[in-house]
């Protein structure tokens, strides 16, 4: 947005994604798989995107987040989220951003959701734990048993820094050490620390089990760091990664690669089927990716958290498009209900 990239407006991204000269429309493959139109199966994850402010500016960020972004969930909207949550028994609250911890209402949201006995997940970029203003953040998260989902593109500095910024790898390790010291990632502590790997380039991710073993071996032997699980996610062809694909001449080939890897089993389990995603201004979406493309939930169901109606929303038809190929390629990319920023 700040660079005034021609692809910054979501409408331009959608126009590009809709031109399908070299790959079939997503809906065609979904129809063949018996999954069109795609329908929600319920709501077990209540995802709250509290805004686009972040202390990092990662190259592949699907949120186009950064230190200069002012979009931020207000207390009033956060209260509407908690009120909606309290009306339901949705078990999981998934808080994302930006760096969600930088929102002034983040800790209040965690306390409220924890008080309602919901499992809380935080999409943490790790370096935020080192900010002077967040000196007690790790202890706060541990005290509220918050599950941490942390992006770490690779277990070596060059690849991670190339994607997330100079020096981010070492800061990430420092953040992981702090979490480990509190028990995160350690057996029997009940404090869950999961990592997320995404490819550094226009590739599909490797098999999850194999890369998890590599991450565990390298982080343990070289840095004495422990974690619970590693998720692999596919880079979504939206926002900054879409810009990268176009500028590097990889767009068509990448979309064909995703379409060729379409997996009906992955398609039937995509996270939008069990997630409701709330934007920083209270608008409702099927997922965080649709949120970034300004594609709210379909017509005929409430579109703002103030009008929350679980019985209508849990049976809604999902708004899909060609970006959805990023969720259905190979083993899928739902990351345990997780989307990292």
Query: Would you tell me which residues interact with ligand SF4 (CB under 6 A)?
Result: 270-272, 286-287, 289-290, 318, 320, 323-324, 327
The nearest distance, CB 320 to ligand SF4, in angstroms, is 5
169/274 with CB nearer ligand SF4: 274
65/271 with CB nearer ligand SF4: 271
Burial of 200 (0-12, 13-18, 19+ CB in 10 A): middle
The nearest distance, CB 174 to ligand SF4, in angstroms, is 32
How many CB atoms within 10 Å of residue 338? 23
Cα–Cα distance, 269 to 302 (Å, whole number): 23
Q: Where are the alpha helices (DSSP H) in 87-232?
A: 106-115, 137-143, 157-164, 168-181, 208-223
The nearest distance, CB 206 to ligand SF4, in angstroms, is 20
- Phi-psi region for residue 337, left (φ > 0), alpha (ψ -120 to 50) or beta? left
54/327 with CB nearer ligand SF4: 327
The nearest distance, CB 272 to ligand SF4, in angstroms, is 3
The nearest distance, CB 285 to ligand SF4, in angstroms, is 8
CA atoms within 13 A on the CB side of 287: 27
CA dist 310 to 71, 99, 141, 315, Å? Answer: 26, 28, 28, 9
90/138 with CB nearer ligand SF4: 90
164/323 with CB nearer ligand SF4: 323
102/293 with CB nearer ligand SF4: 293
Is there a contact between 179 and 146 (Cβ–Cβ < 8 Å)?
no
- The pair of structure tokens assigned to 89 is 């028994």
The nearest distance, CB 327 to ligand SF4, in angstroms, is 3
Could you give the strand order of the β-sheet that contains 147-151, starting from the edge strand earlier in sequence?
230-232, 193-197, 147-151, 119-124, 92-96, 45-49, 275-278, 284-285
């930088």: which residue's tokens?
Answer: 102
271/338 with CB nearer ligand SF4: 271
How many CB atoms within 10 Å of residue 207? 11
- The pair of structure tokens assigned to 31 is 């129809």
The nearest distance, CB 48 to ligand SF4, in angstroms, is 16
């Amino acid at each position: 947005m700040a660079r005034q990239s021609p692809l910054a407006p979501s409408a331009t991204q959608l126009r590009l994604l809709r031109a399908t000269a070299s790959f079939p429309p997503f809906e065609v493959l979904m129809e063949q798989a018996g999954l069109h139109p795609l329908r929600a199966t319920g709501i077990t994850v209540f995802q709250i995107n509290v805004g686009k402010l972040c202390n990092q500016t990662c190259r592949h960020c699907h949120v186009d987040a950064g230190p200069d972004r002012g979009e931020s969930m207000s207390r009033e909207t956060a209260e509407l989220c908690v009120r909606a949550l309290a009306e339901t028994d949705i078990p999981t609250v998934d808080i994302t951003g930006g760096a969600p911890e930088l929102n002034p209402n983040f800790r209040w949201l965690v306390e409220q959701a924890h008080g309602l006995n919901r499992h809380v997940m935080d999409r943490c970029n790790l370096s935020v734990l080192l900010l002077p203003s967040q000196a007690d953040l790790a202890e706060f998260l541990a005290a509220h048993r918050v599950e941490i989902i942390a992006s770490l593109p690779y277990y070596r500095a060059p690849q991670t820094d190339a994607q997330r910024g100079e020096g981010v790898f070492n800061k990430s390790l420092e953040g992981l050490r702090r979490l480990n010291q509190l028990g995160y990632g350690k057996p029997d502590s009940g404090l869950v620390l999961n990592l997320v790997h995404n490819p550094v380039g226009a590739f599909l991710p490797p098999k999850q089990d194999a890369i998890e073993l590599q991450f565990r071996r390298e982080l343990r032997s070289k840095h004495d760091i422990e974690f619970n699980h590693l998720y692999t996610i596919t880079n979504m062809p939206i926002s900054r990664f879409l810009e990268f694909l176009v500028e590097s001449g990889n767009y068509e080939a990448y979309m064909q690669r995703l379409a060729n890897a379409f997996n009906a089993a992955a398609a039937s389990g995509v996270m939008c089927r069990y997630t409701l995603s709330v934007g920083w201004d209270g608008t409702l979406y099927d997922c965080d990716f649709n949120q970034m493309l300004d594609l709210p939930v379909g017509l005929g169901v409430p579109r703002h958290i103030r009008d929350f109606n679980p019985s209508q929303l849990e049976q809604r038809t999902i708004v899909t498009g060609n970006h959805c190929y990023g969720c259905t390629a190979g083993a899928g990319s739902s990351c345990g209900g997780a989307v990292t920023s």
